[in-house]
Chains A and B, each alone.
Chain A
Amino acid sequence: MDRRTEDRVPVVQVKNLTIDIPMDEGVLTPVRGVSFSIHEGETLGLVGESGCGKSLTSKAILGINDKKCRTGGEILFSEADHVLDLLKLKYGSEEIRKIRGERASMIFQEPMVAFHPMYTIGAQINECTRLHITSDKVKSKEITLDMMKRVGIANAEKRYDQYPHEFSGGMLQRALIAMALVCRPALLIADEPTTALDVTIQAQILELMKSLQKEFDMSILFITHDLGVVANMCDRVAVMYLGKIVEEASVREIYKNPKHPYTKGLIGSVHKVGTHNQSKLFSIDGTVPLALNLPKRCGFYERCSSRIEGVCNRLEPGRTMLDDDHSVNCFLYDKENIHG
């Protein structure tokens, strides 16, 4: 983790990503210009309250949001010899389907419903192998079984032919990880992968992800509510609020030296409550407004105790680089623009 990130190529660069969803009441804009990049072998944590747009952002990378979602910006994905803008690929086209599962894959919050109940686990993992690696039945089954063993599924040959309802939640999450990693993708997106699991199983799954990450040298976008898990898993953290990234820094920096009033609130509430009480993690007063017809001002304005009247309610803060590796969107640190 001490390898210097700036020396290496970003695997994926999200640039000014916006997502609009047309609704009966108007256009919802749950993602409003998100930018971040993830380097090779690095884990970026994406944290923020429920509904701030984490899942939409991550699903946009694979192009698997609802058809009605309209995306803007760029998602640059590094292939061996070229860079691909994933947002330019047509919905469900062959090009994007070659990325999905093979170069970038995803695991989800609820493993219990992530598999189709009527096909065996083995068949569903193997489908990914056959789509991307080999259509040879014998070979692909070998590869699939090997991956199932690697993620710690005992008795893999027998479990290959079992159905999802015969698996426990933890085992299903292992199977889901096997399915996501069978093609050795460059990027793994993990959308709250342990939220639905018991604490002890959570720890096992996180250890598994870490060891496989080292082994395969892949990058991870790790989405979570749990700041304790962030400290354990991530190299850098992006804090998201109301469809924007409001602060980004290394894990150590975020914990020691949080700048944005929202981040300060988050870290503060963790210290107050202790590490493993998820429901209390985000105990900041007020709620996230709905991203519909938002006025032009700082998204955190209503809940912010340090707000600057006349500035924060008239303008939207842009990104300020505090140093090479720490950026924040807040007027408190943007002395030039306040008066400009």
Chain B
Amino acid sequence: MIPTVLIISFVVFFIIQLPPGDYVSSYIAKMSAEGEIFTQEMIDEMRAEYGLDRPWYIQYFYWMMDILFHGDFGYSFSYLRPVWDVIMDRLGLTIAVSLITMAFTYLVSLPIGIYSANHQYSVGDYLFTFIGFLGMAAPNFLLAIILMYASYVWTGTPYIGLFSQEMLQNGIHLYNFGEFLKRLIIPVIVIGTSGTCGVIRTVRAQMLDEQSKQYTLTARAKGVSERKITYKYCLRAAINPVVSGLSNSLSSIFTGSTISAIVMNLAIQGPVLYTALKNQDMYLAGTILLVQAVLIVIGTLLSDIALGLLDPRIRFEQQKED
């Protein structure tokens, strides 16, 4: 596991520095556009200050050393603060939004998937399929804009961002928590529905597959009720791929949905990564990607453990390997 993470970190760093130029050049370009004039000495001096004058693998080496021995993830050029502080700023909110949208996704799509499978080719099945594909095909940002517009027309308040002006000044307290929850609705729907269709299709296909299995027939032949067949027999086996899908969720919980977050002005991690990549703020981008990689590895481990708990066959394989 640790070698995997180290290799990933190396690749990540390599790719981030690939585009021509570095933070200093993109900074100079921006400033020059605004009329500032820089001499070559000033530029070289800035590079030296940030350590950007050394070859990239040396930079990587020092970055890794700092992480491993000092827990220091480097410095963000654009925020002018330590990378870890920048990430921590938004961590709580990102996790909150992500977990709520995830819960939304599964609460909506599991029952619909089961219903669609049990009523294959019924009106309801077609309707959900239609809505599901619509949700998948329509870009998220479009849905976000439509919902924000609709909410403005209906309520008169522009629900943009998670905090109102007032909250930004006074912070979140009990009295304005309701308002905060209201502001969560649109982001949760927008980000949540993007995953919903996929989960519905997976659950539906899996459930249909299970229903044609011999053991479902055996259960029916011994007098088990249809309801119990659905939940005890089919769903139990159908849930496996959904659980494996969860392993990717851990890292998306950490970043959140980038484009929708930008459109809706959500103060979560995704947009930070986006601007960091754009400005070649390499330690910030590198750290976010690294954390994501670590989370994917951990997520895979967790879902393996969960699958082992769910499925005796996998449990046996795992025991044999030990």
Query: What residues of chain A have their CB less than 8 Å away from a CB belonging to chain B?
Result: 59, 62, 64, 92, 97-102, 105-106, 108, 110, 113-118, 127-128, 131-132, 163, 165, 176, 179-180
When chains A and B are docked, how far (Å) is the Cα of A131 from the Cα of B225? 10
Contact indicator A117/B313 (Cβ below 8 Å): yes
Contact indicator B313/A165 (Cβ below 8 Å): yes
Contact indicator B237/A108 (Cβ below 8 Å): no
Tell which of B214, B226, B310 touches A118, judged by Cβ atoms closer than 8 Å.
B310
Tell which of B222, B236, B316 touches A127, judged by Cβ atoms closer than 8 Å.
B222
Closest CB in chain A relative to B67 CB, distance in Å: 42
When chains A and B are docked, how far (Å) is the Cα of A121 from the Cα of B313? 13
Contact indicator A118/B222 (Cβ below 8 Å): no
Contact indicator B226/A114 (Cβ below 8 Å): no
A-B contact count (CB 8 A): 71
Tell which of B223, B225, B233, B310 touches A116, judged by Cβ atoms closer than 8 Å.
B233
Tell which of B218, B225, B236, B313 touches A114, judged by Cβ atoms closer than 8 Å.
B218
Query: What residues of chain B have their CB less than 8 Å away from a CB belonging to chain A?
Result: 213-215, 217-226, 233, 236-237, 310-313, 316
Residues of A contacting B220 with CB < 8 Å?
Answer: 62, 64, 100
When chains A and B are docked, how far (Å) is the Cα of A127 from the Cα of B237? 18
Contact indicator B214/A108 (Cβ below 8 Å): yes
The chain B residue sitting closest to A128, CB to CB, is B222
Tell which of A101, A113, A118, A163 touches B221, judged by Cβ atoms closer than 8 Å.
A101
Beyond A108-B214, A163-B312, 17 additional pairs, beta carbon < 8 A = A64-B217, A64-B221, A92-B226, A97-B224, A97-B225, A100-B220, A101-B222, A105-B222, A108-B218, A113-B213, A117-B237, A117-B311, A118-B313, A131-B223, A163-B316, A165-B312, A165-B313
Residues of B contacting A113 with CB < 8 Å?
Answer: 213-215
Instruction: Name, among A62, A110, A132, the residue most crowded by chain B CB atoms within 10 Å (CB to CB).
Output: A62
Contact indicator A165/B223 (Cβ below 8 Å): no
Residues of B contacting A116 with CB < 8 Å?
Answer: 215, 219, 233, 236-237
Closest CB in chain B relative to A234 CB, distance in Å: 22
When chains A and B are docked, how far (Å) is the Cα of A110 from the Cα of B218? 11
Subset of 8 A-B contacts with CB under 8 Å: A62-B221, A64-B221, A97-B225, A127-B224, A131-B222, A165-B313, A179-B218, A179-B222
Residues of A contacting B223 with CB < 8 Å?
Answer: 97-102, 128, 131-132
Residues of B contacting A64 with CB < 8 Å?
Answer: 217, 220-221
When chains A and B are docked, how far (Å) is the Cα of A97 from the Cα of B226? 10
Residues of A contacting B310 with CB < 8 Å?
Answer: 118
When chains A and B are docked, how far (Å) is the Cα of A176 from the Cα of B221? 11
Residues of A contacting B313 with CB < 8 Å?
Answer: 117-118, 163, 165
Closest CB in chain B relative to A339 CB, distance in Å: 47
Which 7 residue pairs are nearest across A and B when measured between Cβ atoms? A101-B222, A101-B223, A100-B223, A113-B214, A97-B223, A92-B226, A163-B312
When chains A and B are docked, how far (Å) is the Cα of A102 from the Cα of B221? 10
Residues of A contacting B312 with CB < 8 Å?
Answer: 117-118, 163, 165
When chains A and B are docked, how far (Å) is the Cα of A99 from the Cα of B310? 32
Instruction: Name, among B213, B219, B226, the residue most crowded by chain A CB atoms within 10 Å (CB to CB).
Output: B219
The chain B residue sitting closest to A109, CB to CB, is B214
Closest CB in chain A relative to B119 CB, distance in Å: 10
